[in-house]
């Protein structure tokens, strides 16, 4: 912003001009610091006092008001810097926490069940305790190949496994199956019953969207998507 010798009249205009100048940041590194804003503000204020209209000079109240505005702008800038620092610290902490999950198994919302060598892992999340919990495992055609009912299950995340045994006693072929879950409470259908799928964290990605866990069997997950680490 260029500074000219044009006299500045009193009133609210000088104050607004100073605020606009302070709030307008350039591309230089010095403009990004609080001290640079203070120097700019004081330089403009002194220039304004030197070039004020002798017939309508700034009074003490106007000067005090503009100094108060300087303190407000400085405080806001310091607060913004503190918030940015906290955001960076949080992002670094989340990334480190996510990295510790590499090669660990996790449960997240989903119905898929991968059967490998006659073994498959999955889970159920219950918002409330249920009297009965029914678990149906279906093949690719949607046919139920195994059913199991659990009694008096507490609220929370329940990790489960399937040994591949079918209703006729034979062992199911390896491959992808789906899980359907339902519960009852007091003789009525229970709400908040959700199937969970299992996967192993392979890697971690960071970017504008935050920290993401790459789980081949599920996809990309956030830390909030993880229901339980196994």
Structure confidence by residue, pLDDT tens digits, 33-85: 556 666 777 777 777 767 766 656 666 676 677 677 767 777 777 777 777 77
| One domain, residues 216 and 111 | yes
| One domain, residues 95 and 111 | no
Structural domain that includes position 62: 13-99
For 57, residues 6+ apart whose C-beta sits below 8 A from its C-beta are 10
The domain boundary residue, chosen from 77, 99, 121: 99
What integer pLDDT is reported at residue 5 of this predicted model? 41
- 81-122: pLDDT as tens digits: 777 776 665 656 667 778 889 999 999 999 999 999 999 999
| One domain, residues 110 and 95 | no
What integer pLDDT is reported at residue 87 of this predicted model? 65
| One domain, residues 32 and 142 | no
| One domain, residues 154 and 203 | yes
Encoding tokens for residue 228? 């339980």
Q: In what order do the strands lie in the sheet with 219-221?
A: 203-207, 210-215, 219-221
Q: CA 162 → CA 65, 171, 180, distances in Å?
A: 73, 11, 13
The answer to whether position 2 is within a domain reads no
- Rounded CA-CA distance 202/83 in Å is 32
Counted residue by residue, the chain has a size of 230
In total, how many domains does the chain have?
A: 2
| One domain, residues 85 and 116 | no
Q: CA 143 → CA 121, 165, 177, 193, 196, distances in Å?
A: 19, 15, 10, 21, 19
| One domain, residues 117 and 176 | yes
| One domain, residues 17 and 54 | yes
What integer pLDDT is reported at residue 6 of this predicted model? 41
> Is the pLDDT reported for residue 218 higher than 50?
yes
What integer pLDDT is reported at residue 14 of this predicted model? 45
The domain boundary residue, chosen from 82, 99, 116: 99
The answer to whether position 4 is within a domain reads no
Q: Give the CA diameter of the chain.
A: 103
- 166-211: pLDDT as tens digits: 888 899 999 999 999 999 999 999 999 999 999 999 999 887 778 8
The domain boundary residue, chosen from 99, 114, 139: 99
Work out the end-to-end distance of the chain between its first and last CA atoms, rounded to an integer number of angstroms: 60
The answer to whether position 68 is within a domain reads yes
What integer pLDDT is reported at residue 12 of this predicted model? 40
Q: What is the CATH number of the domain that holds 122?
A: 2.60.40.4070
The answer to whether position 8 is within a domain reads no
Predicted confidence band of residue 27 (pLDDT cuts 50, 70, 90): very low
| One domain, residues 145 and 194 | yes
| One domain, residues 126 and 182 | yes
| One domain, residues 118 and 82 | no
């Amino acid at each position: 912003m260029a500074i000219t010798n044009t006299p500045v009249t009193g009133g609210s205009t000088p104050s607004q001009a100073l605020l606009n100048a302070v709030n307008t940041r350039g591309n230089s590194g010095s403009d990004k610091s609080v001290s640079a804003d203070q120097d700019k503000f004081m330089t403009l204020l002194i220039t304004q006092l030197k070039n004020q209209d002798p017939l309508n000079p700034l009074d003490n109240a106007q000067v005090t008001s503009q100094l108060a505005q300087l303190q407000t702008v400085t405080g806001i800038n310091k607060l913004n810097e503190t918030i940015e620092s906290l955001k960076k610290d949080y992002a670094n902490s989340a990334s480190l926490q996510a990295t510790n999950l590499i090669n660990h198994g996790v449960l997240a919302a989903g119905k898929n069940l991968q059967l490998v060598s006659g073994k498959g892992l999955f889970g159920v999340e219950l918002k409330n305790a249920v009297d009965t919990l029914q678990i149906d495992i279906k093949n690719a055609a949607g046919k139920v190949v195994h059913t199991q009912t659990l009694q008096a299950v507490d609220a929370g995340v329940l990790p489960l496994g399937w040994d591949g045994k079918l209703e006729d006693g034979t062992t199911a072929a390896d491959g992808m199956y789906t899980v359907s879950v339902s519960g009852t409470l007091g003789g009525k259908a229970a709400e908040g019953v959700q199937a969970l799928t299992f996967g192993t964290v392979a890697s971690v990605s960071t970017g504008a969207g935050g920290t993401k866990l790459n789980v081949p069997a599920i996809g990309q997950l956030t830390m909030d998507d993880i229901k339980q680490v196994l």
